[in-house]
Structure 1
Amino acid sequence: MALACFCDKFGRKILTCFRFGNESSDIKPVRNSCMSQRYVIDDLDREIIRYLSEDGRLSAAEITSRIGGVSERTVRNRIAALLQAKMIVIGAIPDPVALGRDVQVELIIEVEPGQVDEVAILLAEYDEIGYLAATSGSSNLSASLFVADHAALLEFIDQELGKLPGVKRVTSSVVLRLYKVFGTRTSALSRGTDLGDRKKG
């Protein structure tokens, strides 16, 4: 049994108890403060997250068999705790290539002072934008753009980005090869490792 402290939407402290199973490894330490409360990830959590990152459809039983030395109940409880703490989200991630968007482009966007949020709200409405974040440095926003071809890229930058209010400058870089996505190594990285081994031999 573990005692946890949460804050509701009005900022009031709420104490509640959780039963994560009989194994001592199921119980995670919780700080007695709403502001500082944080789920503490250990090596078992990292292993579970790694397998779920590779295939989010894996069951607790399948993950248990791959890890070894841990019970299925513990794995199931850890997954539930990670989800409850919002440390992971299990869902479907669309493949842009399968959707006909073969060209991925990294965008570095400089905006007018004080208009970062306004520009971000406008950009987030585009389905072609797969990732969007505010950044430090000389530019203000970083984004990943997925389009069908180079003609579509030119049209998006010229007709859409170029006309957005608040956008000062856009720098684009076409992604040639992905080596790691969402913490998972791609087949391209595996090919690079094999090539390096052959050169050493």
Structure 2
Amino acid sequence: MTENNSSAPKPTGRGRRASSAQDRAEVRSIDELDRAIIRILQKNGRTNNTDIAKELDVTETTIRKRIAQLLEDDMINVVAVPTPKAVGSSTSAIIGISVALQSIHRVSDQLRKCPEVRYVGMSAGRYDIMIEVFASDQEHLLEFVTDCLGSMDGITDVETSVILKVAKFSYEWEII
């Protein structure tokens, strides 16, 4: 006889469990070896497991298993991030958006689908949503603001800050 535990997380299509409040509360802590691996990968995501193992004085198998576990637990992502220049975007902007609060999730979902939008964050403070946008030029940015944002129901105000020069662009931060 099998038990039917309806509160158990359901598998998803990629071998991951559907998240729940309990899953979010059970965040795995990372140890010093995990932190060291992450630091190395932050500097060069293409560093191979053998080189990481030599630097940290552990076996390649240990590194391979640790990286696999960090990936499975959603503690890291290893990706190639093209620069705006690589994709033909020479203009970037940070845009603060005020919305009718009952529309915040719907507007955020619509913004996530826009190819110009690279970051969407729901925020507390002056704006309800903050986005980062990359455009090919100022005309493209103008079209995005007027046509795309201007046509979304629920948006009540928009403030666009054009980035004149990027002084620092980094994915590195201290792992605590």
Counterpart CA distance in 2 for 1:180 and 1:151 is 24
- Between the two proteins, the alignment pairs up a number of residues equal to 157
Larger relative contact order (CA 8 Å, sep ≥ 6): 2
Deviation at 1:10, TM superposition (A): 4.2
Deviation at 1:115, TM superposition (A): 0.5
1:103 partnered with 2:99? no
Counterpart CA distance in 1 for 2:93 and 2:51 is 36
Counterpart CA distance in 1 for 2:6 and 2:168 is 44
The equivalent of 1:157 in structure 2 is 145
Residue deviations 1:92-127 (CA, integer Å, cap 9, x gap): 323321110111211111111211011111111110
1:134 partnered with 2:122? yes
Counterpart CA distance in 2 for 1:168 and 1:110 is 5
Counterpart CA distance in 2 for 1:120 and 1:51 is 34
Task: Give secondary structure in 2 for the equivalent of 1:172.
Answer: strand
Q: What is the TM-score normalised by the length of structure 2?
A: 0.78
Structure 2, unaligned stretches of length 5 or more? 10-21
User: Are residues 147 and 71 of structure 1, via their aligned partners in 2, closer, same or farther at CA, if it must alter by over 3 Å?
Assistant: same
Structure 1, unaligned stretches of length 5 or more? 1-8, 14-32, 185-201
Which residue identity lines up with residue 12 of structure 1 in the other structure? Answer: A
Residue deviations 1:10-35 (CA, integer Å, cap 9, x gap): 4328xxxxxxxxxxxxxxxxxxx856
1:12 partnered with 2:13? no
Q: From 63, 66, 91, give the equivalent of 1:78.
A: 66
Counterpart CA distance in 1 for 2:139 and 2:23 is 51
Q: From 28, 39, 53, give the equivalent of 2:28.
A: 39
Q: From 154, 165, 168, give the equivalent of 1:179.
A: 168
Deviation at 1:38, TM superposition (A): 2.4
Which structure 2 residues correspond to residues 85-124 of structure 1 after superposition, within 5 A? 85-124=73-112
Counterpart CA distance in 2 for 1:68 and 1:142 is 39
Which residue identity lines up with residue 8 of structure 2 in the other structure? Answer: R
Larger radius of gyration: 1
Aligned residues with identical type, % of pairs: 30
Root mean square deviation, CA, Å: 2.4
